[in-house]
């Protein structure tokens, strides 16, 4: 059962259910995906909205066909351009931390990559703005999101650590690339009560990252350092 408010309307409609590529068979079947979700639960993911979103998004369409049989292993996979699609547990955990048990209106994601995390967020929030610095990946992510008929996502080619439209106010920011220093410019876009989830280098050491949650309170910011993770670097400029 999908929790109320989960925006899975298009992804699960009957027409899509008939589509072989979408549904997958064998190692890409809904059963294999359900097993991935069961493992996420065992590994401590508790948020039912997140688990339902992970269950709804076919991860195999985001990876090369030769890797599709490994799409539901809990492991990162290469997607080309020197980038990787994150391990499912990391995607689930970041989405869970962004939600903090509350419905999300608007989310800003930095690092769209193949669009997988974007799709998961799109089922757990009303609107997603996602920014990717590699043009070829923007095209790929756009294709994947269109295939899933996710209409609540705006994807932009740009440097997500650079200044953005000042008027943009969001409930959550999910940075899906490793930052050596806190991307402070982004904090201005957080509403009070909003959270930024970012893999942040410990003592500036890029190889030692921890998921970090920065929450905007009425009086300032609260920081929480959580699990160790390994992300490709957050880089300036576009490619
Ligand atoms: N979210 C992905 C994994 C992220 S990989 C998933 O669904 O699994 C990190 C991505 O961040 C890469 O695509 C990389 O090109 C992008 N990136 C790195 N620095 C960036 C920046 N400054 N602005 C926007 N995107 C950036």
Distances (CA, A) of 112 to 87, 128, 169: 14, 11, 19
Q: What is the pLDDT of residues 108-147, one digit of tens each?
A: 999 999 999 999 999 999 999 999 999 999 999 999 999 9
Residue 21 has pLDDT above 80, yes or no: no
pLDDT band at 28 (very low <50, low <70, confident <90, very high): confident
Assigned CATH topology for domain 76-229 = Rossmann fold (3.40.50)
How far apart CA 211 and CA 68 sit, in angstroms, is 27
Q: Which residue has the tokens 């609540």?
A: 152
Which ligand 1 atom sits closest to the C-alpha of 84?
5
Q: What is the pLDDT of residues 144-163, one digit of tens each?
A: 999 999 999 999 999 999 88
Query: Which of the listed residues 109, 135, 159, 176 should we mutate to test ligand 1's pocket, taking the one with most ligand atoms within 8 A of CB?
Result: 176
Give the domain ranges of the chain.
76-229
Query: Which of the listed residues 53, 73, 85, 111 should we mutate to test ligand 1's pocket, taking the one with most ligand atoms within 8 A of CB?
Result: 111
pTM score above 0.85? yes
Distances (CA, A) of 186 to 98, 117, 118, 161, 168: 15, 19, 18, 7, 10
Active site residues: 86
The residue whose CA is least distant from atom 10 of ligand 1 is: 111
Output the pLDDT for position 20.
61
How far apart CA 236 and CA 239 sit, in angstroms, is 10
Output the pLDDT for position 14.
43
Distance 143 CA to ligand 1 centre (A): 17
Beta-carbon contacts of residue 175 (< 8 Å; ≥ 6 apart): 109, 110, 111, 160, 183, 186, 196, 197, 198, 199, 234
Residue 226 has pLDDT above 80, yes or no: yes
Residue 1 has pLDDT above 70, yes or no: no
């Amino acid at each position: 059962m999908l929790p109320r408010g989960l925006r899975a309307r298009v992804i699960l409609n009957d027409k899509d259910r008939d589509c072989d590529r979408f549904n997958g068979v064998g190692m890409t079947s809904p059963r294999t995906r359900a097993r991935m979700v069961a493992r996420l639960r065992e590994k401590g993911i508790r948020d039912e909205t997140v688990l339902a979103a992970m269950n709804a998004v076919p991860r195999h369409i985001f990876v090369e066909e030769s890797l599709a049989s490994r799409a539901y292993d809990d492991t990162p996979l290469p997607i080309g351009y020197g980038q990787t699609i994150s391990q499912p547990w990391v995607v689930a955990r970041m989405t869970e931390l962004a939600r903090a048990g509350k419905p999300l209106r608007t989310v800003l994601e930095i690092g769209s990559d193949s669009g997988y995390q974007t799709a998961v967020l799109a089922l757990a929030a009303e609107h997603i703005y996602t920014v990717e610095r590699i043009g070829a990946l923007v095209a790929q992510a756009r294709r994947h999101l269109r295939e899933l008929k996710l209409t609540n996502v705006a994807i932009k080619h740009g440097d997500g650590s650079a200044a953005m439209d000042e008027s943009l106010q969001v409930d959550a920011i999910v940075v899906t690339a490793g930052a050596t220093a806190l991307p402070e410019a982004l904090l201005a876009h957080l509403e009070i009560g909003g959270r930024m989830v970012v893999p942040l280098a410990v003592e500036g050491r890029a190889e030692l990252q921890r998921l970090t949650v920065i929450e905007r309170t009425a009086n300032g910011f609260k920081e929480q350092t959580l699990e160790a993770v390994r992300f490709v670097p957050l880089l300036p400029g576009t490619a």
